[in-house]
Structures are given as structure tokens and as C-alpha cells.
Amino acid sequence: MIKRLMVLGVVVIFSLFSFSAIAADGKTKAVACFACHGEDGNGSAANKLWPKLASQNAAYLVKQMKDFKHGPARTDATMNSMIMTLADEDFASVAAYFSSLPVTRMSVDDKFFELGQKLYRAGDTERKVTACIACHAAKGEGMPAAGFPALAGQNAEYIAKQLKDFRARTRKNDSNEVMRNVAKLMSDEQIEAIAHYVGGLH
């Protein structure tokens, strides 16, 4: 039993060391990303439509980079251009770097809190909007194994734009059209409320 625990401990330490090394390499590869997403992964004050990447699930980040580079499921003029500076084999280390960083939490304006909390935790049965918590977890940390992203601390402007893009079906890289089917049922008021609410989750 003791021997098994020792082996497990060594494996855990080695895994953490390997992840740290990969993340360090990712920081070097991610320099071109800093102008929009920040060296700390918490975005730029210049444009809140650019997402925070800090604490985002690494597998989710890798998928987004692949989708931007190889399309056409996800398109953005800036990202489609910038992603070409990275080789596909760099995606994992860049994702590891950003996912290792702490995300800064936002404060939630009182006018968005009640509706945002209701939608996040219970959804809207009348409009048949699924509760966000089902896929994005209690604290907005997401579900990495299922490919669902973290939302906690994210810019409201970015979240609102993505929901509207899913609703308009101009963004279509969600698995099994899950987000497109949810967003099409949401009103502008609901989108604004949930976009502000998730920024304060922790």
C-alpha cells in the first residue's frame, strides 16, 4: 500500500513538472497573443470583445485554435490571421500556459444579478432555456472532459457577442449544436443578464 502511494506521488509530481514545462514553453510561443489577450491571459482594457484566456480549459483552447486555423466552423478576421503564426503542434503548450493562469473575477451589477442567477442555475422553463450550470458547472469552471468551457470571470461583452453569434448561427463550432439550440431561445435581455452574471462566478 505504501509503495503504491509512493509511486502515485511520483507520478503526480512528474505530471505537474511536465505541465509546468509545457506551460513555460507555451508562454514563449504565445507572445503574439498578448496584444489582445494579455500576458496574464486576462485580456486587454482596450477591447472587452476579446476574451480572457486565463484559467480556460486547455482542451477547449486547443479546439478553438484548430477551428480558427482550419475553419470554417469558427471565423474571425483577426484570429484567422493571427493563428497562422502558430504551428498546430504549438497549440497544446500555448493552451497549457493560458490555462495555468488565474482569471480575474468581475463584479456583477445588481440590475443583472437576479435574472442572471435564475438563468444560470435554473434556466427558463417557459422559454425552454436550459440552465447554464448543467454544462458550465456550479462556479463557472466548465467541464473539461466534455469540452464545455469555463465562463467564470469572462468579459460580459465577449459572452454577449458569442451568444448572439450562436443565436444567429454565425458561430457554429459548438458540439451537436448545443449552444445554437440554447441561444436561439434567449431574449436580448436574458443574454445581457447572463453575460454579466458569469463574470462574477467564483
**Which residues lie closer than 8 Å to 91 by C-beta, 6 or more apart?**
61, 62, 65, 66
Sign, Cα dihedral of 133, 137, 143, 146: negative
**Which residues lie closer than 8 Å to 26 by C-beta, 6 or more apart?**
90, 92, 93, 94, 95, 96, 97, 98
| pTM score above 0.75 | yes
How far is it, in rounded angstroms, from Cα 58 to Cα 98?
Answer: 8
Would the CATH topology of 2-99 be identical to that of 110-200?
yes
Is residue 146 predicted with pLDDT exceeding 80?
yes
Is residue 6 predicted with pLDDT exceeding 60?
no
Q: Which helix (H) or strand (E) holds 136?
A: helix 133-136
Query: Quick one: pLDDT band at residue 7, thresholds 50, 70, 90?
Result: very low
pLDDT in tens, 148-161: 999 999 999 999 99
Query: Quick one: pLDDT band at residue 16, thresholds 50, 70, 90?
Result: very low
Segments making up each domain of the chain, as ranges = 2-99, 110-200
Q: What is the pLDDT of residue 18?
A: 54
Q: What is the pLDDT of residue 151?
A: 98
Query: Quick one: pLDDT band at residue 202, thresholds 50, 70, 90?
Result: confident
Class at the top of the CATH hierarchy for domain 110-200: mainly alpha
Query: Quick one: pLDDT band at residue 10, thresholds 50, 70, 90?
Result: very low
pLDDT in tens, 87-142: 999 999 999 999 999 999 999 999 999 999 999 999 999 999 999 999 999 999 99
Nearest residue to 109 (alpha-carbon basis) of 202, 42, 197, 198: 197
Is residue 57 predicted with pLDDT exceeding 60?
yes
Which fold would CATH assign to domain 2-99? Answer: Cytochrome Bc1 Complex; Chain D, domain 2 (1.10.760)
How far is it, in rounded angstroms, from Cα 34 to Cα 86?
Answer: 13
Is residue 172 predicted with pLDDT exceeding 90?
yes
Provide DSSP, 29-98: HTGGGHHHH-TTSS--TT-TTSPP-TT--HHHHHHHHHHHHH-SSS--HHHHHHGGGS-GGGHHHHHHHH
